[in-house]
Structure 1
């Protein structure tokens, strides 16, 4: 009786081990959505163990030949990468469609850059876009950045603008992306909005 019980215990332990291994492999399987994992950046972070620039370009896959940068806003006063991730997943998409999210203090720290799984594994974005999206093939070469906030109602915070300028500048330098291929599409196209387009573009050129 004791031998039978011991054999049953061994069999159940083996089965549990196999199921656990299968679960781990499913998470690591290509095409599966990885969690954010607390990957955040701040260009002025004095407590960072690794430099923000090193963190930005430390990816799990070889860099894609990125050629375009698109900036949107979330259309909501509050939020974060995790909130966008849930929202996009509820629409049947593969999690957050943006590579980066820049926060406004209503959900995550003001100016904090959250790095999405799409950037970590160098996967194409999944977001609607009026400019770069005209030619679908360019979607595979476009870096998507989302500002938390609604530019129809209020401008991005000073910290958001500072961190967005830093992020875009570093991406431009690394991938040789000219400013004319940086599309600032925060806010509704038929609303004047509060995004400081002219001043921000001058900041990029400067």
Structure 2
């Protein structure tokens, strides 16, 4: 079964989007995971790291797993081009790819949103809980976390677009003539 020009073009765009998503996911993991700033406050050395907020720890793990999944998907795609042809396994694999793409996009977006919400407490503080503002003391730390969250949201958007590409690759296997018994 030969692929049309449109499918080849979409395949190239899909590979580019996956590579871009991997880049932004790794950038997010590095910006958030390697961020730390030390400051001397009243004769004690205080260090702010991503481990101070549980949502940032979860974010680092989630984006790392999503980057690994996208890398594995690219490897699967490059191997599957060697074995061209339509089979039942191709259809099953398309369903699995669609479901995992959607799960990865939703979980990445959710982890980024939770990290953003908890990071806002570092910016604004919370007087009811007696939490002080951290970003007025650890400015570089907060700017780097903000850049990491921004790249995480860009990666989430790219993964949502990739999920629609996976849906296209899945539903191209189905034909209305075949399932509606039209001739």
- Using the size of structure 2 for normalisation, the TM-score is 0.24
- Using the size of structure 1 for normalisation, the TM-score is 0.22
Bigger relative contact order, structure 1 or 2 (CA pairs below 8 A, ≥6 apart): 2
